[in-house]
Amino acid sequence: MKLTTKLMAATALVAAPAVQAAELEVTHWWTSGGEAAAVAELAEAWEAAGNTWIDGAIAGSGGTARPIIISRIIGGDPMAATQLNHGRQAEELIEAGLLTDLTEVAEANNWAEIINPPSLLEACTFEGRVYCAPLNIHSAQWLWLSRDAYETAGVDVPNDWNEFVAAAPALEEAGIVPLAMGQQGWQQNIAFGDITVAIAGVDNMLAVLRDKDADVAAGPEYTAVFEAVATARELARDSNVQDWNLATNMVITGQAGGQLMGDWAQGEFQVAGQVAGEDYECLPGLGLNQVLDTGGDAFYFPVIDDEETRAAQLEMAEMLVSPEVQVAFNLAKGSLPVRGDVDLSAANDCMQKGLAILASGDGILPSGDMALSQDSTIQVEDLMAEFWSSDMSAADAQERYVDIISSAD
């Protein structure tokens, strides 16, 4: 397909009939109900253009899927397209020349203008070239609350984290766990990140995560953060579930007052037939700081030495960002679209809150994924896992956190 044709067909790409039918193998780790439905939207759009989508789903992100994806890429027998969280994960693959340059598609479709927030495209960009197609936005800074639990305890549903902490004794008296927490490092790390945004504020958080400023991490704002996390640990004492969705289920059933978790928790509420604003409440940025990070998923296209495949890869990249696919995919997945110019009126209350924050332009954080390396993230997760399951003091935890930040790269 010629570039000029592409320019002309830019807005209605899926209908472009000029392209030869292509067969692309796509690897991803979206295997749950809602996720699979979202992938089905992608596959449908792709096949509507006369192509074939060969689905290579592998459940279990990170630890399970990544060695498989990377082995196949460095083994010289890659899939045609693969999901990876965008950010620093793919830098080395790009440096090694193993990923397809998508710059021509990005320029032809004016991604620089339409993708909002721009940090998403930045995360895909390496030395001025674009290497991935951002697909959606997930944010982690949400406090999910059970109306039922607060009604049972006879107190008002909190409007921010401070009220949440203040209302905890009433919940405990009613036999309700104030804070549901799955006992896994990554979940506890999300809670830590959420509390950091709410209490230390965006500037301090960026100083630590992006600039690796250990002094800020050792400073009074972070002391307050660690003390708040210690409080949260007390509130979650009686929560002994492991999986995040089981923790969400405690909120759904009113066994727990709230949960700190990313927006994917909404899928659970939806499956349980709950309605945002009626059965459950959501507080982005914990009600204190209206900010969200903009992590999310992106597709990368390993280099395959075949001109037709390359053309098909570019075509798929273009399709992923197209308005139709963005709407269909994100409504199914419960995530936010990567472009602000699409109509999402079908979205529920909580999604609308998220969209409003994105549209306002302030209060957008880089995702931890983009700022800290995966290596440092794991170290923080380990620290959190240990902190939450022991009696480690807030001061000790802060000290070890400072160590991790000062040696981070």
Partner 1 sequence: MSDHVSDPSAPAKRPVQLFRNLSAKIASIPMILTALVVFVGGTAWTVVHSFTSSRMLPKLEFVGFDQYERLWSTRRWMISIENLAIYGVCSLILTLLIGFTLAALLDRKIRFENTFRTIFLYPFALSFVVTGLAWQWILNPDFGLQSVVRDWGWESFAFDPLNNSEIVIFGILIAGIWQGSGLIMCIMLAGLRGIDEDIWKAARVDGIGTVKTYVRVIIPMMRPVFITALVLIASGIIKLYDLVVAQTNGGPGISSEVPAKYVIEYMFRAQNLGQGFAASTMMLVSVIVILIPWAYLEFGGRKRG
Partner 2 sequence: MVDVAMTGPRGPKPKKAFSSRNIMLYGILILISVYYLLPLYVMIVTSLKGMPEIRLGNVFSPPLEITTAAWTKAWSQACTGINCDGLSRGFWNSVQILVPSLILSISVASVNGYALSHWKFKGSETFFTILIIGAFIPYQTMLYPIVILLREIGLMGDLGGLVLVHTVFGMPILTLLFRNYFTSIPEELFKAARVDGAGFWGIYFRIMLPMALPIFVVAMILQVTGIWNDFLFGVIYTKPDTYPMTVQLNNIVNSVQGVKEYNVNMAATLLTGLVPLVIYFASGKLFVRGIAAGAVKG
Binding residues for partner 1, rule: CB under 8 A, are: 62-63, 66-67, 70, 74, 89, 91-93, 96, 183-185, 240, 242, 373-375, 377-379, 382, 385-390
Exactly one of 14, 36, 114, 344 binds partner 2 (CB under 8 A); which one? 36
75 is an interface residue for partner 2 by CB under 8 A: yes
**Minimum Å distance from CB 317 to partner 2?**
19
Considering the complex, state which of residue 223 and residue 373 has its C-beta at the smaller distance from partner 1: 373
**235 closest CA partner among 181, 157, 199, 156:** 181
From the list partner 2, partner 1, none, pick the one residue 76 interacts with, judged by a Cβ distance below 5 to 8 Å according to partner type: partner 2
Q: How many residues does the chain have?
A: 409
Residue from the set 267, 284, 302, 363 that interacts with partner 2 by CB under 8 A: 267
Q: Which phi and psi (to 5°) does residue 2 adopt?
A: -75, 155
CA–CA separation, 102 vs 100, rounded Å? Answer: 6
Stretch that binds partner 2, among 72-80, 94-102, 104-112, 335-343 (CB under 8 A): 72-80
Strand partners, 137: 336
Residue 264 within binding range of partner 2, rule CB under 8 A:
yes
Nearest CB to partner 2, comparing residues 19 and 24: 24
CB of 14 to partner 2, least distance (A): 18
Nearer to partner 2, 178 or 254 (CB): 254
Yes or no: say if 233 and 227 are a contact pair by the CB < 8 Å rule.
no
Query: Which of partner 1, partner 2, none is residue 56 near (CB under 5 to 8 Å by kind)?
Result: partner 2
Helices (H), 125-219: 147-153, 161-173, 185-209, 214-218
Q: Count Cβ atoms below 10 Å from residue 172 Cβ, excluding itself.
A: 17
Q: Which residues pair with 53 in a beta bridge?
A: 24
DSSP per-residue letters across 231-280 = HHHHHTTT----SHHHHHHHHHTTSEEEEE--TTHHHHHHHTT--BTTTE
329 binds partner 2 (CB under 8 A): no
Q: How far is the CB of 32 from partner 2 (least distance, A)?
A: 3
Based on its alpha-carbon atoms, the radius of gyration of the chain, rounded to whole angstroms, reads 22
> Which residues of this protein are in contact with partner 2, per CB under 8 A?
25, 28, 30-36, 39-40, 43, 53-61, 64, 67-68, 71-72, 74-77, 243-246, 264, 267-268, 271
